[in-house]
Amino acid sequence: MRKFILTYSATALLYSFSFAQTKEEVNIKDSLFATYYNLGIEKFDAKDYSGAIEAYNKAIEYDPNDPDVYNNRGNAKGELERHKEALADFNKAIVLSPNHPLAYRNRGFSRNFLGDYKGALADYNKAIELNPDDPALYMHRGEVKENLQDYKGAIDDYSNAIKLDPSHIEAKFNRALSKYNLKDYLGAKDDFTLVITQNSKRADAYFYRADTNLKLKDIVNACSDWGIAGDLGMVEAYTEIKTNCK
């Protein structure tokens, strides 16, 4: 909400018309900002990310100090994998609103994409500090920790995501991968099974559970899982069958 402070004096009446005109101009700017801001949201939801950026550019012309419009424009640029440009928008949003959890979250995503894992980790730490009940933040921070090969830390974050959202299937899948990387094959198998129980059409879960079964020297179930993965369209599973299932 915009607030205007006016200074009155004995000559105030002489400037009443000028003040009224200024207020009218401000109202017009507010209206145009809202029009383009909402158009940007509509374009983004329709996956017209270039159109969203154009709309947000116009919105910024009418209000260059709104943090949300920079955050949203950064999101649209991120969808087009223009992550360096997106970073500049998220930086601006944070300058304008230092406790903007979405801007930290989104900047963390772009930093992770660009390979700045330590920067991404710092952003997700801040986002979680500001919004500790969002399972997606733990999920994304877990992905960053995986990239840093901190698999134990990643497992903790995926577990927190699952605690906050027991249906979070990607957190279960990623936790399985992290357990696999730590050679906790029994734990990995259990998590892949959780994923399959939730979605029996998940070919990659069968594929990786097969590999986990192979590590556990359970060739019968490994071959069974590769067969299901192949039937679900994961053609590389047939190569594993030819190699391992005599």
pLDDT in tens, 222-235: 999 999 999 999 99
The answer to the question of residue 214 being in a domain is yes
- CB burial of residue 194 (10 Å; 0-12, 13-18, 19+): middle
Average pLDDT over residues 67-89: 96
pLDDT in tens, 27-41: 888 889 999 999 999
State pTM to two decimals.
0.84
Return the percentage of the chain with pLDDT > 70, whole number: 90
* Higher pLDDT, residue 31 or 99: 99
pLDDT of residue 165: 98
pLDDT of residue 32: 92
Counted residue by residue, the chain has a size of 246
Average pLDDT over residues 70-79: 96
pLDDT of residue 222: 98
The answer to the question of residue 230 being in a domain is yes
pLDDT of residue 18: 46
Range of the domain at 241: 200-246
pLDDT of residue 37: 94
pLDDT of residue 25: 67
| 74: Cα separation from own chain's centroid | 12
Count of structural domains, the chain? 1
The answer to the question of residue 229 being in a domain is yes
Position 219 pLDDT exceeds 60: yes
The answer to the question of residue 46 being in a domain is no
pLDDT in tens, 133-180: 999 999 999 999 999 999 999 999 999 999 999 999 999 999 999 999
Sequence-ordered list of residues with C-beta below 8 angstroms from that of 73, at least 6 positions apart, any chain:
40, 52, 53, 56, 57, 60, 89
What distances in angstroms separate CA 203 from CA 141, 190, 230, one per listed residue? 25, 16, 8
The answer to the question of residue 224 being in a domain is yes
Q: Report the chain's mean pLDDT, rounded to a whole number.
A: 91
The answer to the question of residue 243 being in a domain is yes
The answer to the question of residue 245 being in a domain is yes
8-state DSSP, 12 = G
How far is Cα 115 from Cα 119, in angstroms, rounded to an integer?
A: 9
> How confident is residue 201, by pLDDT bands cut at 50, 70 and 90?
very high
The answer to the question of residue 227 being in a domain is yes
